[in-house]
Amino acid sequence: MAAPKIQQLLDNTISQAASDLHLSVGKPPIIRIDGSLVPLSTYGDLDEQSMNTLLTSIMNEEQKQLYQTNKEIDFSFEYAQKSRFRVNAYTQLGRPAAALRLIPMAIPRLEDLNLPGVCQGFSELRQGLVLVTGPTGHGKSTTLAAILSEINHSRPEHIISIEDPIEYVHSPAKSLFSQREMHNDTLSWKVALASVLREDPDVVLIGEMRDFETIASALTIAETGHLVFATLHTNSAAQTIDRIVDVFPPHQQDQIRVQLAATLAGVFSQRLLPAIGGGRALAYEILLANPAIQNTIREGKSHMIDNILMTSADVGMSIFENSLAQLVNDGVVAPDIAIQYAVRPDELSRMIYGNKKK
């Protein structure tokens, strides 16, 4: 059986509306559709030579050298004006492998994603820190792209993004859009974040708050009167607050709580669940920084955040389980699936089955 060409695999990924393409020695190419892995068995198992050919065909010379030296690399590329792909090429058991994430060329609108009105509200802010959180592959980058696109098309701002790698490419509309990619446009997160305030930004996107330096920089940029968006791999609003504070040494944590309470505008935590009949459905949790939230953060009482979210629906806050219960009641998601994805499964069970058990 002839080895597949990368163009065939990319076309398969696009035509089947897959989110990801996985390439690994000893396995056939595998795509992810609606959260499930599906082998492209017609191509047969990939050998090491085929894998090297597939990977080098989408890398430039610098990327090939970096991959050979570091054993892994992140980059993105545009394919035949059909789509973009974000790539992580890595090594496992001494052999090449890769995960390619499909990024649509068109940036979706907020309403296309069924996002709640609070996301429109985030796009209208002038300053503060907005965090979009959730597991890998659950749509954080797409949500942020839609919010930034709304700003881009609604008012004149200088929007600067620092990403590793760039996923969605924004065309300037009313705003000036500067997108910087690690390795291609800057060699260091530390330098890029230190430089951004000298580049006259109004809005800053930090692709991922991954460590002490990026989190500290995000807080500082927001504290100086800018609107900052960033992602974090956390599952709930309370966990997000704890993660930010805990990354700092103990003697700095009180100061960071004060800084975070003053700058945080909101946390939007999201998950994509398998929907009945195919596709995926969005569930979310919303934290908005009102005085009660700010006091709770300052005082280090993040365990109280859930209670505030549960009792603040009138100002737009919500826990995951409200969203999950609505999806179940609307017949979009099966109850057992919703419970598997819940942060507070007992609370969701009560919401779904409580009346039936009485």
Residue 357: per-residue pLDDT: 45
| The residue to which tokens 């004060």 are assigned | 258
> Which residue(s) pair with 90 in the sheet?
97
Residue 354: per-residue pLDDT: 81
Residue 1: per-residue pLDDT: 62
Look at residues 222, 166, 170 and name the one whose alpha carbon lies nearest to residue 196.
222
Give the tens place of pLDDT for each residue, 199-247: 999 999 999 898 889 999 999 999 999 999 999 999 999 999 999 999 9
Give the tens place of pLDDT for each residue, 44-81: 999 999 999 999 999 999 999 999 999 999 999 999 99
Residue 358: per-residue pLDDT: 38
Q: Does the pTM of the predicted model rise above 0.75?
A: yes
Residue 169: per-residue pLDDT: 95
Regions of the chain with pLDDT less than 50: 357-358
Query: What domains can be seen in the chain, in order of their start residue?
Result: 6-104 (3.30.450.90), 111-318 (3.40.50.300)
Mean pLDDT for the chain overall? 95
